[in-house]
């Protein structure tokens, strides 16, 4: 069978580490059922490296935050709210949702500054009177979850990771974060001039369907 996707049946796809392991397995399985000859080569990288990969041609397409990749063709996939995770004995444990007043004076845990998530968390900390320290940056979402479990601070997590992973962890308690800017959009992006043939439409639809099945809000456009 000839692949309907571009790139002669081989797609080099870059993705944020906070998205790939929790969204792509279902998508890859669905696409393999309809396009068995398609080979998807997945690279998990931070925002800056994804931008570099797209510019240099090392990657054919990326799944990332659209505002970090100007001058690209963008297919918005879903909106992702932010959640928090705290130790089981934390005063916030058991609350149905966490408002900004609960984070005043608290240490917020996030990834290093190469990630868009970090920049969002720094802005949220400024808005609510929280504290973010370079000394407590994590190299992965799992690492900041473990720091939260020891009482080091409040881990700020993307919704997909929270729903697919964190809610099943016994060492922490998670809840949605109720703040105006506590969210991010995720999009499929590829270079301007790329032939937008049917395969990209199939990939976009598969990604949106998978996100919706996990309780995320799909986006059009």
Q: At what angle do helices 20-34 and 198-213 cross, to 10 degrees?
A: 130
Paired sense of beta strands 183-191 and 72-87, if any: antiparallel
Residues 6+ apart with CB under 8 A from 110: 117, 118, 121, 122, 132, 137, 138, 144, 155, 156
- % of the chain residues with pLDDT over 90: 69
Residue 76 CB-density burial (10 A; 0-12 exposed, 13-18 middle, 19+ buried): middle
The domain at 7-78+184-218 falls in which architecture?
Answer: 3-Layer(aba) Sandwich (3.40)
Q: How far apart are CA 217 and CA 124, in angstroms?
A: 21
Residue 221 has what pLDDT? 67
- Which residues are paired to 183 by β-bridges? 81
In this predicted structure, the answer to whether residue 117 has a pLDDT above a threshold of 70 is yes
- Write out pLDDT tens, residues 126-167: 999 999 977 777 778 999 999 999 999 999 999 999 999 999
38-47, 58-67, 160-169, 198-207: which range is least confident on average? 198-207
CB 120 within 8 A of CB 181: yes
List the one residue out of 203, 182, 185 whose CA is nearest residue 194. 203
Q: How far is CA 91 from CA 3, 41, 131, 158, 166, in A?
A: 53, 44, 17, 21, 18
Which of the listed CATH numbers 1.10.3720.10, 3.40.190.10, 3.20.20.70, 3.90.330.10 matches domain 81-176? 3.40.190.10
Q: How far apart are CA 143 and CA 127, in angstroms?
A: 25
CB 115 within 8 A of CB 49: no
Residue 35 has what pLDDT? 79
CB 14 within 8 A of CB 181: no
List the one residue out of 136, 168, 140 whose CA is nearest residue 154. 136
Residue 171 has what pLDDT? 96
Predicted structure pTM score: 0.88
Tell me where in the chain the CATH 3.40.190.10 domain(s) lie: 7-78+184-218, 81-176
List the one residue out of 130, 122, 134 whose CA is nearest residue 92. 130
Summary mean pLDDT of the chain: 90
């Amino acid at each position: 069978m000839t692949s309907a996707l571009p790139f002669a049946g081989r797609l080099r796809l870059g993705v944020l580490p906070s998205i790939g392991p929790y969204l792509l397995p279902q998508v890859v399985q669905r696409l393999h059922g309809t396009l068995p000859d398609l080979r998807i080569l997945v690279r998990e990288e931070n925002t800056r490296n994804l931008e570099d990969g797209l510019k240099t041609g090392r990657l054919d397409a990326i799944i990332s935050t659209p505002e970090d990749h100007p001058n690209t063709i963008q297919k918005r996939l879903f909106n992702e709210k932010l959640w928090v995770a705290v130790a089981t004995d934390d005063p916030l444990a058991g609350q149905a949702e966490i408002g900004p007043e609960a984070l005043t004076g608290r240490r917020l845990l996030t990834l290093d500054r190469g990630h868009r998530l970090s920049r969002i968390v720094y802005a949220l900390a400024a808005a609510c009177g929280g504290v973010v320290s370079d000394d407590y940056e994590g190299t992965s979402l799992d690492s900041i979850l473990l720091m939260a479990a020891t009482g080091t601070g409040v881990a700020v997590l993307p919704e997909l990771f929270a729903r697919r992973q964190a809610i099943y962890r016994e060492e922490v308690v998670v809840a949605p974060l109720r703040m105006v800017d506590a969210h991010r959009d995720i999009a499929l992006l590829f270079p301007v001039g790329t032939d937008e043939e049917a395969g990209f439409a199939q990939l976009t639809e598969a990604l949106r369907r998978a996100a919706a099945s996990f309780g995320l809000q799909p986006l059009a456009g």
